[in-house]
Amino acid sequence: MTVESPFLTLGIETSCDDTAVCVLENQRTVLAQGISSQIEEHAPFGGVVPEVASRCHQEALLPLLRRTLEKAGIHNPARQLSLIAVTAGPGLVGSLLVGVMSAKALAQAWEVSLVGVNHLEGHLFANVAVHPSLEPPFLSLIVSGGHTEIVFVRSFGEYELLGETKDDAVGEAYDKVAKLLGLGYPGGPEVDRLAREGDPDAFPLPVPLEHSDEIGFSFSGLKTAVLWVLRRLEKEGKPIPVAHVCASFQKAAVASLVGKVRLAVLRSGVRRVAVSGGVAANSALRNALSALPGVEIFLPPLSLCTDNAVMIAAAGYNIYRRGFFSDLSLSPDPSLPLSR
Ligand SMILES: Nc1ncnc2c1ncn2[C@@H]1O[C@H](COP(=O)(O)OP(=O)(O)OP(=O)(O)O)[C@@H](O)[C@H]1O
Ligand SMILES: [Mg+2]
């Protein structure tokens, strides 16, 4: 009797400012994972500096890879690994290059199959990696630093964009509001924390596209509305009630996201909604979506909301099982669309 060896995928994610590596067994069992965050390097600039990000990935990736393989008990990668899944886009080209070139070199040296993964398909798979019951068709709300969109997942690999933001992503709006308030970077978690102590009705702010019947988002006007509130308070010589401003901004941002999810559910008739991306960690959004009547909401644990390699490995495994893989001509595409 032969014992079938497990299918082990090495996941590599370097699309923005997190260097992440993991070893995934089949679709859901994480054997080891590691993340090297660059927050400290970018914080003085109040945002991600692309050149700094690429250099940090270059320094972090190989030591992180060595530690993660060791933790997963991979002593002979050429024999033990079945697949290398790497983020190929969208993202910062210099950051993507570090991951893609490293993955190609490793795939060639170890003679292991390679698959390039779309980062957004990765975010979508953060939920698949932890919810065995999540099968298409379902809707996916992706809310991150660079994207805000609702995708109809007809089947794995068949994605239809139902709506997206016309300007800023919601995570970007959180970061910009945090900057206006003099809070740290990234601003989302801090605004979320302070909002819990504030009054969401202190400053009535417009809910973006509230009265439009299109599935779409817009957050730059909301950010400007916050700026006007701050300017008015300043002019009146009043102190800035930071927690109240955070709570008021968050109320409008969350209402917009929840309203458009409700609309997408009504229009499509699909009642299962998976939420992912950094802003899926937001406490108010998680609560509001979970309270939607007649809708089944899937949320990843907080660690799989922001960028990580587990979601990339999970997507890569699924893509490979569907019969797709990449060859050594794989190159990063900063604006790779979500389609296959
Ligand atoms: N609790 C929270 N509340 C609101 N926003 C949050 C929270 N936690 C993280 N964020 C936001 O999530 C964003 C980071 O998410 P993520 O890492 O998925 O984005 P990204 O990888 O930079 O963008 P993309 O995936 O679109 O390329 C930041 O804008 C951050 O402020
Ligand atoms: Mg991301």
SS3 335: coil
Q: From residue 257, how far is each of 213, 216, 287, 330 by CA, in Å?
A: 13, 9, 12, 35
Distance from residue 163's CA to the centre of ligand 2 (Å): 18
Q: How many CB atoms lie within 10 A of CB 35?
A: 19
Q: Which residues contact 296 (CB under 8 A, 6 or more apart)?
A: 271, 272, 273
- The secondary structure of residue 278, as a DSSP letter, is G
146 three-class SS: coil
Ligand 1 and 192: CB distance under 6 A: yes
* Nearest-ligand number for the alpha carbon of 171: 1
Cβ pair 306, 13 in contact under 8 A:
no
pLDDT at 4: 73
Domains of the chain, CATH where assigned: 8-125+305-321 (3.30.420.40), 137-299 (3.30.420.40)
User: Taking the C-alpha atoms of 314, 315, 321 and 322 in order, what is their torsion angle to the nearest 10 degrees?
Assistant: 160
> What pLDDT does 45 receive?
84
Residues 22/2, Cβ–Cβ less than 8 Å = no
Question: What integer pLDDT is reported at residue 14 of this predicted model?
Answer: 98
Q: What pLDDT was estimated at residue 185?
A: 85
Ligand 2 centroid to Cα of residue 108, in Å, is 27
Strand spans (E) along 189-333: 272-276, 296-298
Residue 299: CB partners within 8 Å, gap ≥ 6?
Answer: 127, 274, 275, 280, 286, 289, 290
Give helix then strand counts, H and E, for the chain.
11, 10
Pocket test for ligand 1, best of 196, 307, 308, 310 (most atoms within 8 A of CB): 307
Mutate to test the pocket of ligand 1, among 87, 141, 219, 306 (most ligand atoms within 8 A of CB): 306
Atom 3 of ligand 1, nearest CA residue: 282
At residue 236, the pLDDT reads 96
Q: Residue 2's pLDDT is what?
A: 59
Question: pLDDT tens for residues 9-25?
Answer: 999 999 999 999 999 99
Low-confidence ranges of the chain (pLDDT < 70): 1-3, 340
Give the number of the ligand closest to the Cα of residue 16.
1
Pick the closest to residue 161 from 149, 147, 169, 177 (CA basis). Answer: 149
Q: Cα 64 to chain center, whole Å?
A: 21
pLDDT at position 103, please?
98
